[in-house]
């Protein structure tokens, strides 16, 4: 597959793993490791790898590959697990990696969420699979790949990236035929300062505009309020706050 995409397998796999931005001594999850083709490259870094797969058969071939490559078995643990239920505590890993099977995981959002759950705050998640870049959809390149293998019809599932992800990137590798999603793990929604006042005639802040909405008034009254606020050199938001506070005697 690498050859037909005019790429050198080892170079591509090293590039994919660079996306993890690993530091020496990191503890890394590789799920869907298959026959450990990436595991060998992960072990080139000074890290510990937990390489898991759903299939006993794949893991057996993977173990043999690692033995043949004289891998350091103090730094690699093979285990059988489903990406949807990883047998690790929250935040156990510095990074989580998957390549090659994401499109066919039973629930992509739940799989990415589970990979994210086991990575510490500030760690990285990287996942990729077949999916020709959308800008190439009209090319013979895309049509030929999709004709031979319908998996190339998939799109990068960026809508399934967890809300807690930050610095989300999506790039296409192997000449644009595989997507690679990567992100840093954080928690909750991105932060937003709700109280910065907007300049201009409307005024207000995100908090006032989003959480402070009142029932409407007639269009004519609205226009008159806008005019009155402008005449007093005030934003509409500030004028309304002042006037409504005075009307209910609130400071």
Residues that bind ligand SAM (CB under 6 A): 31-34, 37-38, 53-55, 58, 82-84, 99-101, 105
For the CB of residue 221, give the shortest distance to ligand SAM in the complex, in Å.
60
* Shortest reach from residue 112's CB to ligand SAM, in Å: 12
Taking the complex as a whole, the smallest distance from the CB of residue 62 to ligand SAM amounts, in Å, to 8
Considering beta carbons, is residue 58 or 238 the nearer one to ligand SAM?
58
Residues 6+ apart with CB under 8 A from 171: 179, 180
CB 22 within 8 A of CB 34: no
Instruction: Give the span between the Cα atoms of 182 and 18, in whole angstroms.
Output: 11
Residue number, 67 or 149, with CB nearest to ligand SAM: 149
- Specify the residue, 43 or 240, whose C-beta has the smaller distance to ligand SAM: 43
Query: Minimal distance in Å, beta carbon 140 to ligand SAM?
Result: 25
Question: Which of 225, 221, 224, 247 is closest to 236 using CA atoms?
Answer: 225
Residue among 59 and 229 whose Cβ is closer to ligand SAM: 59
Q: Which residue is nearest to ligand SAM (CB)?
A: 34
Q: What is the 3-state secondary structure (H, E, C) of 87-129?
A: CCCCCCEEEEEEECCHHHCCCHHHHHHHHHHCEEEEEEEEEEE
Reported as half-sphere exposure (CB side, CA atoms, 13 A), residue 233 has a value of 0
CB 65 to ligand SAM: min, Å: 10
Nearer to ligand SAM, 160 or 206 (CB): 160
Tokens representing 35 are 């026959």
**Nearest-angstrom CA–CA distance, 95 and 115:** 9
Instruction: Output 87 or 212, the one with its CB closest to ligand SAM.
Output: 87
CB of 195 to ligand SAM, least distance (A): 45
CA 21 → CA 15, 50, 120, 125, distances in Å? 10, 17, 14, 10
């Amino acid at each position: 597959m690498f050859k037909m995409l005019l790429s050198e397998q080892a170079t591509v796999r090293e590039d994919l793993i660079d996306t993890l931005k690993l530091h020496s001594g990191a503890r890394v999850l590789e799920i869907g490791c298959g026959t450990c083709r990436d595991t060998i490259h992960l072990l080139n870094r000074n890290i510990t790898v937990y390489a898991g797969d759903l299939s006993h058969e794949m893991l057996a071939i993977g173990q043999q590959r690692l033995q043949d490559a004289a891998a350091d078995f103090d730094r690699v643990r093979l285990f059988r697990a489903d990406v949807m239920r990883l047998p690790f505590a929250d935040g156990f890993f510095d990074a989580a990696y998957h390549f090659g099977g994401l499109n066919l995981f039973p629930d992509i959002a739940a799989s990415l969420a589970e990979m994210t759950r086991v990575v510490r705050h500030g760690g990285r998640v990287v996942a990729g699979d077949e999916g020709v870049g959308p800008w190439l959809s009209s090319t013979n390149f895309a049509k030929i790949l999709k004709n031979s293998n319908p998996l190339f019809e998939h799109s990068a599932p960026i809508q399934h990236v967890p809300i807690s992800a930050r610095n989300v990137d999506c790039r296409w590798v192997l000449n644009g035929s595989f997507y690679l999603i990567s992100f840093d793990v954080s928690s909750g929604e991105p932060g937003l300062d709700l109280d910065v006042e907007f300049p201009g005639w409307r005024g207000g802040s995100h908090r006032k505009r989003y959480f402070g909405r009142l029932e409407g008034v007639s269009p004519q009254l609205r226009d008159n309020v806008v005019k009155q606020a402008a005449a007093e050199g005030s934003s509409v938001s500030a004028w309304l706050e002042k006037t409504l506070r005075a009307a209910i005697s609130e400071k």
